Amino acid sequence: MSKTIAFEIIQKYEPIEEVRKAHQMSLEGFTRYMNSRECLLFKNECRKVYQDMSHPLSDYFISSSHNTYLVSDQLLGPSDLWGYVSALVKGCRCLEIDCWDGAQNEPVVYHGYTLTSKLLFKTVIQAIQKYAFMTSDYPVVLSLENHCSTAQQEVMADNLQATFGESLLSDMLDDFPDTLPSPEALKFKILVKNKKIGTLKETRERKGSDKRGKVEEWEEEVADLEEEEEEEEDKFKESEVFESVLGDNQDKETGVKKLPGVMLFKKKKTRKLKIALALSDLVIYTKAEKFKSFQHSRLYQQFNENNSIGETQARKLSKLRVALNFQTPGLPMDLQNGKFLDNGGSGYILKPQFLRESKSYFNPSNIKEGMPITLTIRLISGIQLPLTHSSSNKGDSLVIIEVFGVPNDQMKQQTRVIKKNAFSPRWNETFTFIIHVPELALIRFVVESQGLIAGNEFLGQYTLPLLCMNKGYRRVPLFSRMGESLEPASLFVYVWYVR
What is d(CA 123, CA 156) in angstroms, rounded to the nearest whole number? Answer: 11
What is d(CA 54, CA 51) in angstroms, rounded to the nearest whole number? Answer: 9
Angle at 452 between CA 451 and CA 453, to 5 degrees: 100
What is d(CA 279, CA 267) in angstroms, rounded to the nearest whole number? Answer: 26
> Distance between alpha carbon 457 and the CA centroid of its chain, in Å?
25
User: Which strands make up the sheet holding 397-404, listed edge to edge?
Assistant: 411-414, 397-404, 442-449, 457-465, 472-479, 485-498, 373-383, 426-435
What is d(CA 321, CA 315) in angstroms, rounded to the nearest whole number? Answer: 8
Identify the active-site residue in 23, 55, 111, 389.
111
What is d(CA 132, CA 87) in angstroms, rounded to the nearest whole number? Answer: 10
Question: What one-character-per-residue DSSP string does 42-66 give?
Answer: B-GGGGS--S---S-GGGEEE-BBS
Nearest to 286 by CA among 307, 304, 308, 309: 304
Question: What's 351's DSSP letter?
Answer: P
Which helix H or strand E contains 497, and what residues bound it?
Answer: strand 485-498
Angle between helical axes of 81-89 and 121-131 (0-180°, round to 10): 20
| Secondary structure (H, E, C), 243-254 | HHHHCCCECCCC
Residue type, 29: G
Longest dimension (CA), the chain: 89
Neighbours of 248 (CB within 10 A): 7
Question: What's 182's DSSP letter?
Answer: P
Who contacts 207 (Cβ-Cβ below 8 Å, separation ≥6)? Answer: 171, 215, 281
Question: Computed from CA positions of residues 247, 251, 253, 255, in that sequence, does the dihedral angle turn out positive or negative?
Answer: negative
Catalytic annotation present for 147: no
Identify the active-site residue in 23, 55, 66, 147.
66
Catalytic annotation present for 111: yes
Bridge-partner residues for 465, per DSSP?
A: 442
Catalytic residues: 66, 111
